[in-house]
Amino acid sequence: MSSNLDALSRWVDSVASLTKPRRIEWCDGSDAENSRLLELMQETGDLISLNDSTHPDCYLHRSHPSDVARVEHLTFVCTPNREDAGPNNHWLSPEDGHARMDSLYDGCMRGRTMYVVPYCMGPIDSPLARCGVEITDSPYVVANMRIMTRMGAAALQRIEREGTFVKGLHSIGELDPDRRFIMHFPEELSIKSYGSGYGGNALLGKKCHALRIASWQARTEGWLAEHMLIVGIENPKGETHYIAAAFPSACGKTNLAMLIPPEAYREAGWKVWTVGDDICWMRPGADGRLYAINPEAGYFGVAPGTSSKTNPNALAMLHKDAIFTNVAITDDNQPWWEGLSEGSPAVDWQGRDYIKGNGPAAHPNSRFTVSARHCPSYTIRAEDPQGVPLSAIVFGGRRESLVPLVFEARDWAHGVLVGASMASETTAAATGAVGVVRRDPMAMKPFAGYNFADYFSHWLSFGDYGDKLPKVFHVNWFRKGADGKFMWPGFGDNLRVIEWMLKRVEGSADAMETPIGNVPRASDLNTDGLDIAPDALRQLLHVDQEGWRQEMAAVGEYLEGYGDRTPSRLMEEQRRIATRLG
């Protein structure tokens, strides 16, 4: 074994002597290995095979009913200095974090197989990609990692060449909510997760590596690791602009990444290309533009609400080689969830006969895991080692009032404030109350691996790259009218808003200057064929001066909560806008 792999095998040995597995299996990512694991999981009941004629090679996994979402209250960033983790993270010292985890790991894999899973986040030959190794005792995690990352032999070869990799140790333990922790040691590039098999807690390449650890690495290396989709919008002239967009979990990133243009746009030649639906790593190129890769190779998407109306592309990719977690099934063994127009549930997500009034059939955070290549709007640019150049960055939250459909930041620093002041109503993607408005800067509240104040400074530092940077926008698809219904049709019609943004990028669309940024007039948006009352559109584009005065005051208080570390440039932006609001 080469000396670079020596370090890996020493770590594997030390984990094995702590966790005491029955056997160790190094995963190569091959089809044969995958088939063997799928078979094994069907024998143990971890996977249930779905209807083979409608959903070939698709499986259902039912998790422990207490283990259905990310556990933000049990997620820690362990740095020697508490301030480095910041008030946005739960903190433990590395010594205490390791001690707590290692006592849980002691003997935890007795009788189980320990899988060693080398993986690469990003195209295998990309300079922006980074590797990791996850050790896990869950074959379900291995099968999901194989879809979500470039997993196996090629990743191991890159690790052998480079020597560095993120170390992730995961055990499902007893799935006991009182013995469940997700810990990050950014200075050691390591992760320890115990007691959960749920995606965001257990597929360590995703939130733990590609966001928390990577955001830390990105700051030290001069790039950005963000909770953003990446989508290419091709106009009728055949030009494609790439956009990265940050929305909190379960706020429509997957839908926007796979948008189907309204009919008239399709006929005119507009096309949408999906690069990624959840995570974006970006760094400046030699030309001063930001280049982005999707570090993931698959989608771990929210099933409920996915339908032939809301996201036909997603539905089309869910008919083969997909793993469903906590969905319901129909009486002919097809997956089913709320919002799906076809079929009806016979068995709910917990395996009980479905009875109306007994709660939802599918868990609200039930998921699908599927390869990105199965998406009809997949683009081979997702494999481009250099990434795609970004024309726009979009921030957005779920806000039923106040926040207009879209506005544009005046410049980069204002854009950073727009991202930093994002807020959104909470969803079922994390345990806890749903529908409560909370500040979620850049949609990174659960995922920034360091102090938000330092993170804002890092974002501001990119301003030095000048006028080739993407333009920054904020959108809100979720405004509700007095009747409690959504005012904007959303989904495919969001392309109308994107068209305006891209015209702003090209300098060919108008806007009205307001204290919060540039807002289109109704006449600046293409509303041909749109089913919306003029008054609703007027309200959607209205800037409520008094409401924003209060919002900006709240933003100021929020930013001051980070103390001396809050960059003064950000506070100046906040004051500038607050002053203009009067």
Find out whether 56 and 146 touch, Cβ atoms under 8 Å.
Answer: no
- State yes or no: residue 499 binds ligand OXD (CB under 6 A): no
118 bridge partner residues: 133
Output the smallest distance, CB 39 to Mn ion, in A.
Answer: 31
Considering 27, 78, 251, 280, which one is annotated as catalytic?
251
How many residues sit close enough to ligand OXD to count as binding (CB under 6 A)? 7
Asked if 58 is an active-site residue, the reply is no
Residues 242-271 that bind ligand OXD (CB under 6 A): 249
336 binds, among ligand OXD, Mn ion, none (CB under 5 to 8 A by kind): none
Question: What gap in Å lies between CA 371 and CA 264, rounded to an integer?
Answer: 30
The type of residue at 221 is E
70 binds, among Mn ion, ligand OXD, none (CB under 5 to 8 A by kind): ligand OXD
Which range in 3-11, 276-284, 471-479, 536-544 contacts Mn ion by CB under 5 A? Answer: 276-284
CA angle 250, 254, 257 (to 5 degrees): 140
195 binds, among Mn ion, ligand OXD, none (CB under 5 to 8 A by kind): none
Of 67, 325, 18, the closest CA to residue 176 belongs to 67
Output the smallest distance, CB 571 to Mn ion, in A.
Answer: 29
- State yes or no: residue 304 binds ligand OXD (CB under 6 A): no
3-class secondary-structure state, position 493: helix
- State yes or no: residue 300 binds ligand OXD (CB under 6 A): yes
Residues 243-262 that bind Mn ion (CB under 5 A): 249
Find out whether 234 and 271 touch, Cβ atoms under 8 Å.
Answer: yes
Question: What gap in Å lies between CA 92 and CA 232, rounded to an integer?
Answer: 41
Cite the DSSP H helix spans in 349-449. 412-420
Report CA 167 to chain centroid distance, whole Å.
21
Q: Where are the beta strands (DSSP E) in 476-572?
A: 512-514, 517-519
Would you say 249 or 566 has its CB closer to Mn ion? 249
Would you say 200 or 295 has its CB closer to ligand OXD? 200
Would you say 199 or 305 has its CB closer to ligand OXD? 199
Would you say 365 or 518 has its CB closer to ligand OXD? 365
- State yes or no: residue 200 binds ligand OXD (CB under 6 A): yes
**Using the rule CB under 6 A, which residue among 55, 61, 62, 70 binds ligand OXD?**
70
Residues 420-479 that bind ligand OXD (CB under 6 A): 429
- State yes or no: residue 325 binds ligand OXD (CB under 6 A): no
Question: What gap in Å lies between CA 107 and CA 60, rounded to an integer?
Answer: 29
Would you say 249 or 255 has its CB closer to ligand OXD? 249
For the window 104-143, what string marks contact with Mn ion as x by the rule CB under 5 A?
----------------------------------------
Rg (CA), the chain: 23
Which range in 150-158, 275-283, 326-334, 370-378 contacts Mn ion by CB under 5 A? Answer: 275-283
**Using the rule CB under 5 A, which residue among 67, 84, 278, 499 binds Mn ion?**
278
Question: What gap in Å lies between CA 364 and CA 345, rounded to an integer?
Answer: 14
Output the smallest distance, CB 257 to ligand OXD, in A.
Answer: 12
Would you say 132 or 199 has its CB closer to ligand OXD? 199
User: Helix and strand tally (H, E) in the chain?
Assistant: 17, 29
Would you say 215 or 249 has its CB closer to Mn ion? 249
3-class secondary-structure state, position 480: strand
3-class secondary-structure state, position 471: strand
β-pair type (90-92, 75-78): parallel
Find out whether 84 and 451 touch, Cβ atoms under 8 Å.
Answer: yes
Find out whether 560 and 78 touch, Cβ atoms under 8 Å.
Answer: no
Question: What gap in Å lies between CA 301 and CA 144, rounded to an integer?
Answer: 12
Question: What gap in Å lies between CA 507 and CA 32, rounded to an integer?
Answer: 53
For the window 180-199, what string marks contact with ligand OXD as x by the rule CB under 6 A?
-------------------x
Which residues contribute to the site for Mn ion (CB under 5 A)?
A: 249, 278
Which residues contribute to the site for ligand OXD (CB under 6 A)?
A: 70, 199-200, 249, 278, 300, 429
Q: Please list the active-site residues.
A: 251
